[in-house]
């Protein structure tokens, strides 16, 4: 095995470059890692105050966007909040008295 000796200045330069790369990679990861908060059926039913069957109806009628992941329905929190804003009062009217 060959060994090479590097001086202190070269080592500092390499260390600085590694620190720059680390900073850039961290920044890139954090900017792409801003995943939306996802809610499951239970969370959405609780927020909307509806039953699972009503939630299924909303999905069937394309009233609420969702994603299937490993057989589980997931909803973006922002989509649920948008649905609430668009249907204020309407959701309450669909509930049985």
Residue 17 lies in a domain: no
Total number of domains in the chain: 1
Torsion of CA 66, 71, 72, 77, to 10 degrees: -30
Residue 64 lies in a domain: yes
pLDDT computed for residue 71 by the predictor: 93
Average pLDDT over residues 70-75: 95
Residue 61 lies in a domain: yes
Q: Is the pLDDT of residue 63 over 60?
A: yes
pLDDT computed for residue 26 by the predictor: 85
Q: Is the pTM of the predicted complex or chain greater than 0.75? A: no
pLDDT computed for residue 97 by the predictor: 47
Q: Is the pLDDT of residue 44 over 80?
A: yes
Residue 58 lies in a domain: yes
Residue 3 lies in a domain: no
User: Contact at 8 Å (CB) between 80 and 66?
Assistant: no
69: domain CATH number is: 1.10.1660.10
- Nearest C-alpha neighbor of 67 from the set 83, 53, 82, 79: 79
Residue 21 lies in a domain: no
Domain that holds residue 51: 38-94
φ, ψ dihedrals at 89, nearest 5°: 85, -35
The more confident residue out of 18 and 36 is 18
């Amino acid at each position: 095995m060959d060994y090479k000796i590097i001086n202190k200045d070269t080592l500092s330069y390499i260390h600085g470059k590694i620190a720059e790369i680390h900073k850039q990679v961290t920044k890139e990861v954090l900017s792409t890692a801003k995943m939306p908060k996802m809610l499951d059926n239970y969370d959405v039913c609780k927020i909307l105050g509806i039953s699972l069957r009503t939630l299924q109806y909303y999905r069937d009628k394309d009233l609420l966007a969702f994603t299937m992941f490993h057989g589980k329905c997931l909803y973006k929190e922002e989509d649920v909040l948008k649905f609430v804003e668009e249907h204020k009062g309407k959701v309450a009217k669909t509930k049985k008295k």
